[in-house]
Amino acid sequence: MLDIIGKKLAYVFDTGWEYHIYYENDHKVTYYIASGPAGGRFAYQEAIYAEIVPGIFNVVWYEETGTLVSQVVNLNARKINGFIAFPQWVWRNPEKTHGRKEEKVDQLLALREAGPDAPRKLVYMTANIRTIEDIGVDVPGVF
């Protein structure tokens, strides 16, 4: 099992956007966006993990909104390098993504289909990890 699995992190991007993420198991991430344009969003996604070197991981997921996220998580240096490709509809109206995914997934899928998708807003950010907790695998109700 990869060392990142079962960890919960709180981090703040250089933009001031605050995120909390739980690397729940070897195929899922759960997160809460505390601030920034998508602040107030609670979601979970199927994820792919790769260990680059010990303590450094690439985690990638595709959201129901159409947003693509790739993180390089450096637990050793407590840093995250994040790349996000936002569909145009999300970038223009991030408040439509607020709330709990499980309560509005059908609405989010309809918004994704309606678009517009392009041109995508590409964002690259770095973050400082404030906290790292090892809470275990598949813990329910983290957020």
Q: Which domains does the chain have, with CATH numbers?
A: 7-134 (2.40.128.20)
List all residues 6 or more positions away from 35 whose beta carbon is below 8 Å from its beta carbon: 16, 17, 18
Distances (CA, A) of 24 to 8, 9, 14, 31, 49: 8, 11, 25, 10, 12
Provide mean pLDDT across the span 80-101. Answer: 97
User: Which 8-state DSSP code applies to residue 93?
Assistant: -
State residue 128's pLDDT score: 98
Closest CA to 112 of 86, 138, 135: 86
State residue 77's pLDDT score: 98
**What is the chain's mean pLDDT, rounded?**
97
| Amino acid making up residue 83 | F
Please say whether the beta carbons of 26 and 139 come within 8 A: no
State residue 110's pLDDT score: 97
Report the distance separating Cα 101 and Cα 108, nearest Å. Answer: 8
Closest CA to 51 of 105, 101, 111, 3: 3
Provide mean pLDDT across the span 59-68. Answer: 98
State residue 143's pLDDT score: 94
Closest CA to 87 of 60, 123, 61: 123
State residue 130's pLDDT score: 98
Report the distance separating Cα 71 and Cα 57, nearest Å. Answer: 8
- The confidence band for 28, taking pLDDT boundaries of 50, 70 and 90, is very high
- The confidence band for 18, taking pLDDT boundaries of 50, 70 and 90, is very high
Provide mean pLDDT across the span 24-29. Answer: 98
| Amino acid making up residue 21 | I
pLDDT > 70: percent of the chain: 100
